[in-house]
Amino acid sequence: MEKAEGLATRLDRCRRCGAKTRKGSPCQCKPEPGQDRCKLHGGKSTGPKTEAIRESNRRRAQARREALQLAPL
C-alpha cells in the first residue's frame, strides 16, 4: 500500500497528458511543451487552420451529437 501511495503522489506532482486512453485510464505521457496533451493526443496540433475547416468540424460534431441522440448505446 505504501508503495502505491508513493507512486500516486509522484504522478500528481508532475504534469501529465491525462487524455482518456483506449483502456479508459488517463494517459500518463508527458505533454508537449506549451500544450496540455502529449504528442499522441493532439499536443502537436495547432488547431484548425481555416474557418472552412472549423465549420466542417462543427458540422461533423453536430451530426455526431444527433446520431448519438437518435441511437443511444
Would you tell me which residues interact with Zn ion (CB under 5 A)? 17, 19, 27, 29, 38, 41
Q: Cα separation of 17 and 15, whole Å?
A: 7
| In the complex, minimum distance from the CB of residue 4 to Zn ion, in angstroms, rounded to a whole number | 22
Select 8 or 40, whichever has its Cβ closest to Zn ion: 40
| In the complex, minimum distance from the CB of residue 48 to Zn ion, in angstroms, rounded to a whole number | 20
Handedness of CA 23, 4, 36, 42 (dihedral sign): negative
First-last CA distance in the chain: 37
| In the complex, minimum distance from the CB of residue 26 to Zn ion, in angstroms, rounded to a whole number | 8
